């Protein structure tokens, strides 16, 4: 996939919001990012490739609902969230 679009795809904006909406409870850093941490592990599965098996966990993140959970590899969780993975 290429990050291009056909000239016929853009749509006309029919309404411009009067003001920006406020997001409650999110503390933004100066570079407009916020801290994300895992809340709980919802599911786990093993992805088997030709040479090895990769353990994946479905992780629910703070400020997100269960249906917005993402699949993360065990290596990624160990690298970034070691204390959380050890507690489960």
Tell me how many domains the chain contains.
Answer: 1
pLDDT at 36: 82
pLDDT at position 23: 65
CB 66 within 8 A of CB 49: no
Q: Which domain holds residue 62?
A: 38-87
Give CA torsion, residues 41, 84, 77, 40, to 10 deg. 20
| 30 domain-assigned | no
Question: How many Cβ atoms sit within 10 Å of the Cβ of residue 59?
Answer: 23
**Residue at 59 is within a domain:** yes
**Inside any domain, residue 1:** no
**Six-digit token pair at 5?**
């679009």
- Whole-prediction pTM: 0.62
Q: How many C-beta atoms lie closer than 10 Å to residue 14's C-beta?
A: 5
**CATH code for the domain in which residue 45 is found:** 2.40.50
34-49 as b/e, with b when 16 or more CB fall inside 10 Å?
A: eeeebeebeeeeeeee
Taking the chain (88 residues) in runs of 10, the rounded mean pLDDT of each run is 77 73 74 84 92 92 88 88 70
């Amino acid at each position: 996939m290429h990050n291009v679009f056909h000239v016929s795809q853009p749509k006309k904006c029919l309404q411009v919001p009067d003001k920006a909406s406020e997001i409650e409870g999110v503390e933004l850093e100066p570079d407009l990012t916020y801290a994300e941490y895992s809340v709980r592990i919802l599911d786990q599965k093993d992805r088997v490739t030709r040479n090895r098996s990769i353990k994946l966990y479905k992780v629910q993140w703070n400020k997100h609902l269960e249906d917005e959970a993402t699949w993360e590899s065990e290596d990624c969780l160990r690298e970034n969230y070691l204390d959380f993975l050890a507690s489960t």
